[in-house]
A and B are shown apart, each in its own frame.
Chain A
Amino acid sequence: MLRVFPFFLQAAWVTIQLSVLSCAMGLVCGALGAAARLSRSPALRFTGATYVSVIRGTPALIQVFILYFGGPQIGIQLEAFEAGVLALGFNIGAYMTETMRGAIISVDRGQNEAARTLGLSRFETFRSVILPQALRLMIRPLGVNINALIKGTALVAAISVVELTYTAQRYIGSTYKPFEMFFLAGSIYMVIIYVTGLGVSWLDRRVALK
């Protein structure tokens, strides 16, 4: 156990990097997706809706495989880690699209009316009135997305990214202790998720309405 621990810590670092990078990408995809879904342009709305339904309608593992194994066929040659980040980020972005869109549309309609009545433009209204309220509403549900994302990083073990799950599998061979190996990996996931959860709660309290 002690002998393998440093390797698990290294793997945990990879898992954290995967999580952070794909989370950042997910937030960008989510913001763009939500903007598209709420756009006045039917073409953009359609694009946003298609993105969400394709991603949510197929297994994340398939998405990872398509990018990593299928990519080279169409000229996209990626390292396993890169493919993992992109696939996970693009995947969680679809869920984040729905989270963000949900938060935005659940801001009371009267807020929009009041702002527009004062003479604020659509954009000014969104920036100064709708978005600040929506951000508060989306922090917790985004926390749920991020929780799923962190656990989802385990999928990229399947394309040999040396993250926690992959590392646990690898050391079963030399230690013959599958229970301990998976238990250790699981425990580290739990710590990462717990700390992330604390962060989300902290953020949520900070921006809570007075």
Chain B
Amino acid sequence: MSDRPIIDIRHAAKSYGSLEVLKDISLQVQTGQIVAIIGPSGSGKSTLLRAINDLDPLSSGEVWLDDIQVNKALPTRQYETHINSVRQNIGMVFQHFNLFPHLSVRDNITLAPKMLKGISKAEADQLAVEQLNKVGLLDRIDYYPSQLSGGQKQRVAIARALAMKPKVMLFDEATSALDPELVEEVNLVMKQLAEEHMTMIIVTHEMGFAQDVCDRVLFMDQGVVVEEGPPDVIFRNPANERTKNFLRKHLKGQH
């Protein structure tokens, strides 16, 4: 394994008008690492995550995926081609699933691989079966999203992202929209990915999950990474006053 980080964010900054949402953030993630990003609402977690695949472009700074600069300055047309190919390597899972409601579970999973990787129908079906097996939903292959529970939807969304064989997976509060009893099934899938050493960046409000699964935890507040370290340190022995305050509110009842 090389020393080059798979994700390298260099001096990321982002403003909406006069509001500075990200202030000079740098972050390196090694292959196989699992990073949690925690922090209060509005601290810029989603913005940072969405900068990684240039869904929310940075105002300044660079994002690298392996040896490719994601947010390269290119003429519009070239940029489109570039970003579309880069994004195939970055899976993303959203809070609200964003499954395609007009497509079956199978087609949700195979749409992009069929379109972008030129695979045959048989190969695509095989891929759908493989991915659904992974998330334990093979029996739902011909269902439509509206026929699934929230937890099932999110597992299909994960399967859809995995079907592109991404190098990195980004999760933006993947379980926040779920009823409490459905959270665990999604967490289990994510844990399984962790065991397979998928590189993951996980924005979450679930401190317990972050503690169990992640190698590193970043605490963000007001557009900066206030503190980062291994979960044991961040959760049990944080150095920064803001981190302590935040955790005091969020760990209530967990310890």
Contacts and interface: CB of A to CB of B under 8 A. Distances in A.
A133 B101 contact: yes
Interface in B112-151: 112, 115-116, 144, 146-147
A116 B54 CA distance: 10
A154 to B, nearest CB: 38
A118 interface: yes
Interface range on chain B (Cβ under 8 Å from partner): 20 to 34
Most buried by A among B85, B100, B160: B100
A111 B146 CA distance: 15
Nearest to B56: A113
B111 interface: yes
Interface string B78-95: 001000111110111010
B115 A129 contact: no
Interface string A117-132: 1111110100011001
Given A128-B111, A128-B115, A209-B146, A118 B98 contact: no
A113 B46 CA distance: 13
Given A108-B98, A133-B101, A136-B102, A118 B88 contact: yes
B90 A117 contact: yes
Contact of A113 (B55, B84, B147): B55
Interface of A: 108, 110-111, 113-122, 124, 128-129, 132-133, 136, 209-210
Given A119-B85, A209-B101, A209-B146, 18 more contacts: A110-B94, A110-B98, A111-B98, A113-B94, A113-B98, A114-B94, A114-B100, A115-B100, A116-B87, A117-B53, A117-B55, A117-B92, A117-B161, A118-B116, A119-B112, A124-B115, A133-B102, A210-B144
